[in-house]
């Protein structure tokens, strides 16, 4: 279902979290639950995967993750402040110590000059603190943007587990 490299990364995340006794939550927008899906496809994931939030709409980001509506209005859903708030919200609204968030423009439409197709913001939180990453994958196709985002998100989870 997922490319081999993504399955390998997911296995590494599950094994690393299990070795440290850490629980994981995901907060996904443009990936629509793909990170949660690949993590839960790994045998043993129930020991470390606590929950996943699919917050595609702005209202869902506010209602499920506690992202302030004013923050979304001021910065747009695809922004560093919203990605950070999503990751923090996943921690405060779960029983997890590690989280990752993804919000972006997967395309093919929806892009603007300021926020083009392929722009994705990530947030991640763990015992070592919170981080943000921005990637501009370009207009490489909706599925490719989503898969590239899954790769980055899994890498950020590994980073926060190890920090």
pLDDT band at 163 (very low <50, low <70, confident <90, very high): confident
21-70 pLDDT, tens digit each = 999 999 999 999 999 999 999 999 999 999 999 999 999 999 999 999 99
Whether pTM > 0.85 for this model: the answer is yes
- Between the CA of residue 93 and those of 9, 51, 120, what are the distances in Å? 25, 10, 23
Give the sign of the dihedral formed by CA 94, CA 27, CA 97, CA 76. Answer: negative
Question: Residue 76 pLDDT more than 90?
Answer: yes
**Residue 111 corresponds to which tokens in the numbers above?**
């892009």
Residue 86 has pLDDT above 90, yes or no: yes
pLDDT number for residue 156? 98
Strand 49-54 to strand 98-104: parallel, antiparallel, or no bridges (unpaired)? unpaired
Report residue 97 as tokens: 């110590």
pLDDT in tens, 95-148: 999 999 999 999 999 999 999 999 999 999 999 999 999 999 999 999 999 999
- In this prediction, residue 1 carries a pLDDT of 83
Distance CA 77, CA 79 (A): 6
């Amino acid at each position: 279902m997922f490319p081999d490299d993504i399955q390998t990364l997911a296995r590494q995340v599950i094994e690393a979290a299990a070795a440290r006794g850490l629980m994981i939550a995901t907060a996904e927008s443009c990936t629509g639950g793909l990170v949660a899906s690949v993590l839960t496809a790994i045998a043993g994931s129930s020991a470390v995967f606590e929950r996943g939030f699919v917050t595609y709409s702005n209202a869902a980001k506010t209602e499920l993750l506690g992202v302030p509506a004013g923050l979304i209005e001021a910065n747009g859903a695809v922004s560093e402040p919203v990605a950070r708030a999503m990751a923090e919200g996943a921690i405060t609204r779960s029983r997890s110590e590690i989280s990752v968030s993804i919000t972006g423009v997967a395309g093919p439409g929806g892009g603007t000059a300021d926020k083009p197709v392929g722009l994705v913001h990530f947030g991640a939180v763990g015992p070592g603190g919170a981080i943000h990453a921005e990637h501009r994958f370009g207009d490489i196709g909706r599925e490719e943007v989503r898969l590239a985002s899954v790769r980055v998100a899994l890498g950020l989870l590994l980073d926060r587990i190890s920090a």
